[in-house]
Amino acid sequence: MMSPDSESQPSSPSTQHAGPLRLGLLGGSFNPVHNGHLAIARQTREALGLDQVLFIPTSQPPHKPNNSLAPAQDRYEMVHIAIASDPTFAISDVEIRRPGKSYTIDTVRLLQQEYGAQTQLFFLIGLDAFLDFPSWREPQTLLELCRFVILSRPGLSFRSLSTVARLPPIPYPSLADLDAGRISRIEAPLGTHGLICLKLPPSAVSASDIRARIRQGLPAANQLPPLVESYILHHHLYQEDRNRTNS
């Protein structure tokens, strides 16, 4: 198994890059990484004109029991395998190599140091996770460090943002138009860099469904990159005690 410290560290911005690097930050447990994650990264990169999307596997998320996850190094390696053929994707072990729980504010500060203050950071987050944003550690500081990009999630409405504290008033009709697909994007002032709400095509792929299929010995065709499925089977992931992987 490849150690996260051995290769695929986040590459520094090229000196030949014209203008500031526009870097999307896509964190998650990636338990496992699947085709839906890859589609979200590609669609967001294209919609926002990002130069690169950086996948950041979590080590121990503050709001998820650690025993529900495959080992961090396995999840890192699966992402590494899944993105290897796309030069616009990269991976960081910034959370895996840091002991203890992973807090977004710590991650963003470290990445800003690694990539430089000139890099424009776009923090990509699902609507479901962003609804808890006021309870995060140092939320106001986060808004000064990066631009938040809120991505649509199946079964959730952008209109729910009207109840989130700390957000600027976004016209309710605009949120309704976004939910209905009449528009695909809203930008609003928030912190230093602003907020973007982005409507993406829905994805039917679910990590929990994939884990359930693997436990039942069923194939995960069209849901996982083939090399990721091979890695899972070779390392016997998601096939142990049901309580270990059911989340």
Mean pLDDT of the chain: 85
Contact between 111 and 52 under an 8 Å Cβ cutoff? The reply is: no
Q: How far apart are CA 112 and CA 115, in angstroms?
A: 5
User: Does residue 228 lie in a domain region?
Assistant: no
User: Does residue 227 lie in a domain region?
Assistant: no
Predicted confidence (pLDDT) at residue 240 exceeds the cutoff of 80? no
> What is the CATH classification number for the domain harbouring 165?
3.40.50.620
In sequence order, the β-bridge partners of residue 120 are 22
pLDDT digits (tens, 9 = 90+) for 38-65: 999 999 999 999 999 999 999 865 555 5
Domain that holds residue 40: 22-203
pLDDT band at 231 (very low <50, low <70, confident <90, very high): very high
Contact between 150 and 127 under an 8 Å Cβ cutoff? The reply is: yes
pLDDT, average across residues 228-234: 95
Residue 6 amino acid letter: S
CA 50-56-59 angle, to 5 degrees, is 170
Q: How far apart are CA 147 and CA 162, in angstroms?
A: 19
Q: pTM of the prediction?
A: 0.85
- Number of structural domains (the chain) is 1
pLDDT band at 6 (very low <50, low <70, confident <90, very high): very low
User: Does residue 246 lie in a domain region?
Assistant: no
User: Does residue 217 lie in a domain region?
Assistant: no
User: Does residue 221 lie in a domain region?
Assistant: no
Q: Give SS3 for 57.
A: strand
HSE (side-chain half, CA atoms, 13 Å) at 94: 25
pLDDT, average across residues 57-86: 83
Q: Give SS3 for 25.
A: strand
pLDDT, average across residues 80-109: 92
Task: Indicate the helix (H) or strand (E) that contains 195.
Answer: strand 195-198
pLDDT, average across residues 96-110: 87
pLDDT band at 71 (very low <50, low <70, confident <90, very high): very high
User: Does residue 28 lie in a domain region?
Assistant: yes
Q: Identify the CA nearest to 4 among candidates 77, 112, 111, 102.
A: 77
The count of other CB atoms within 10 Å of the CB of residue 16 is 5
User: Does residue 216 lie in a domain region?
Assistant: no
User: Does residue 2 lie in a domain region?
Assistant: no
pLDDT digits (tens, 9 = 90+) for 14-32: 434 567 899 999 999 999 9
Lowest-confidence pick of 28-32, 60-64, 181-185, 224-228:
60-64
Tell me what pLDDT residue 62 has.
Answer: 55
